[in-house]
Structure 1
């Protein structure tokens, strides 16, 4: 049975308490896990620590913590701490993000994200094991680091985000799970083959790698507003967040549409870019409309082969009440 997770907009909520209350409500509704992104608002770690204290059973994780703003050793320490405070409910999701975030906002050189992701996963895994860390890599060399506190038991799983074929293969080979975003229902299948190849390189099977797909969702009595919100959210990522999301959509057989959305958005015609998404993509990439319409569309994602969890992700423009309404409508 496919799990239902929730992807909370950490920075967008009025207060930190509002955000944590959304996580508490997700637990009450029976969701399996709540994921915390970290972009340009509140940090995810503080929000997760408070959430862990106020909840009892729902899983907690980062989707994603970027691999440039924290060292691998610190990510390992953070994972160990959050595993302790949550009583074993934590998963560490990591990924490279993109040049806009890493270079413009963190002031770090983006550089070889695949190799750096691999080294980060391998080091963080050594840290949470509680053993002495000995690592000699291309980016990081560590010797003698060891947790002073008890190692977490069980060790928290480490997931990786990835868009392109090599990034997805890397997730299959080195991580415990893959976080997928910006995929159509039809377009995910090809990347699952990359994931399978990576798992085999890591002496695993695809069953050993948890696949979590984020889906933009909005369920409102005003179905047209819900559709507009999800379409605008998709257009923002394809058109405004660098070229990675555009190229990922192009690889899925939507090359002309991807470039049209990107170019239209870059020219400042955001309404037109949103209209293109609404007309040609939204049903393939989101679940939006009236509660009945959104539920029907969401079921199509739940029925996808090779996916272990569908992550209910809310559009950027949705207010707290709209997030709550959507979360309630699509609850297990």
Structure 2
């Protein structure tokens, strides 16, 4: 199992941090849409000799043409190591934060993926660009705007998904699935893998499953307790989102979601974290020493995912512990 680590560093230090992570045995780094741009750190890290990936970039506010150009350039700059991971977000953020359009998210994401792939294919295979989808139409590509074939081939286009319809669609049209980190083993096996199977419908085409895991890790009991306290905040934030309620319902915790949602609207963030008990932390994260975390990750994803993205939110983890985790995942 290949291991990717969140590229959590000031922008100017992105290349240095990616090089340090490579020295720890890490295969790749990923970014997500947070307080900073999702692509800029990967541009700086592209020559560090690690795989680079957005996990995820929001598709709806961006034109497929913009995404295709960025993907082409990062794939070339990294020597063929880039994966374009796309996500949908939720309506409130798309409309009120990005000022963009939200409707029919599964079909809109399908159209975005197909459009990006059509543009990349037109460049790579020297085809006439003639994509006509429900939401996007791309029918003009003059020579001065055509970068031509990428010497490293076409970068994979992946979709981040949680719900069954989005997951099934990803298996139908994308190169891979980015499993959302707010997940339990039961939800993943009963809902996610079943939706992937429906989407592939017996096809043997290459399809990559990449899991993202929230990790609460430390070398001492004190460190582990500190990490577990830190991840509760993120779990409470995820759990307050209505679209994530199915994960809680699978475990019998569905009624917690509206309670968390109400507290979030009131800005009572500390109280939200207090509602996330140890059972939830155990089910939704990998927690413990590096060896224990690795065992939990392998048990949950080892028979189905090719890579795992490890995410350490809200706390610092020692580089030696990261190295131990990577080594344990490869045993």
Q: TM-score, normalised on structure 2? A: 0.86
Say whether the 8 Å CA contact 1:22–1:324 is kept in structure 2.
Answer: no
- The aligned counterpart of 1:30 is 25
Q: Is 2:72 the partner of 1:80?
A: yes
Deviation at 1:223, TM superposition (A): 2.1
Alpha-carbon separation, structure 2, partners of 1:69 and 1:112: 14
Change (3 A) 1:248 1:133: farther
- What does residue range 10-89 of structure 1 map to in structure 2 within 5 Å? 13=9, 15-39=10-34, 41-53=35-47, 55-56=48-49, 58-89=50-81
- What does residue range 292-303 of structure 1 map to in structure 2 within 5 Å? 292=289, 294-303=290-299
- The aligned counterpart of 2:129 is 133
Say whether the 8 Å CA contact 2:33–2:56 is kept in structure 1.
Answer: yes
- The aligned counterpart of 2:209 is 211
Alpha-carbon separation, structure 2, partners of 1:212 and 1:253: 26
- The aligned counterpart of 1:183 is 183
Change (3 A) 1:188 1:124: same
Say whether the 8 Å CA contact 2:59–2:88 is kept in structure 1.
Answer: yes
CA deviations on 1:180-216 (whole Å, 9 max, x unpaired) are: 111101210121111111012xx623x7221111111
- The aligned counterpart of 1:123 is 115
- What does residue range 204-283 of structure 1 map to in structure 2 within 5 Å? 204-205=203-204, 208-220=206-218, 221=220, 222-239=223-240, 242-251=241-250, 253-283=252-282
Alpha-carbon separation, structure 2, partners of 1:194 and 1:251: 15
Change (3 A) 1:69 1:248: same
Alpha-carbon separation, structure 2, partners of 1:253 and 1:88: 43
Secondary structure of the structure 2 residue equivalent to 1:68: coil
Unaligned runs of 5+ in 1: none
Say whether the 8 Å CA contact 1:127–1:133 is kept in structure 2.
Answer: yes
Change (3 A) 1:178 1:253: farther
- The aligned counterpart of 1:154 is 153
Aligned length: 313
CA deviations on 1:235-287 (whole Å, 9 max, x unpaired) are: 12222xx4222344335543134444444444544334323323221111112
CA deviations on 1:131-189 (whole Å, 9 max, x unpaired) are: 33211111112212265222223211110011111000001000111111111012101
Q: TM-score, normalised on structure 1? A: 0.86
Report the RMSD for the aligned CA atoms in angstroms: 2.2
Say whether the 8 Å CA contact 2:217–2:287 is kept in structure 1.
Answer: yes
Unaligned runs of 5+ in 2: none
Deviation at 1:44, TM superposition (A): 2.0
- The aligned counterpart of 2:325 is 330
Alpha-carbon separation, structure 1, partners of 2:176 and 2:78: 20
Alpha-carbon separation, structure 2, partners of 1:8 and 1:100: 26
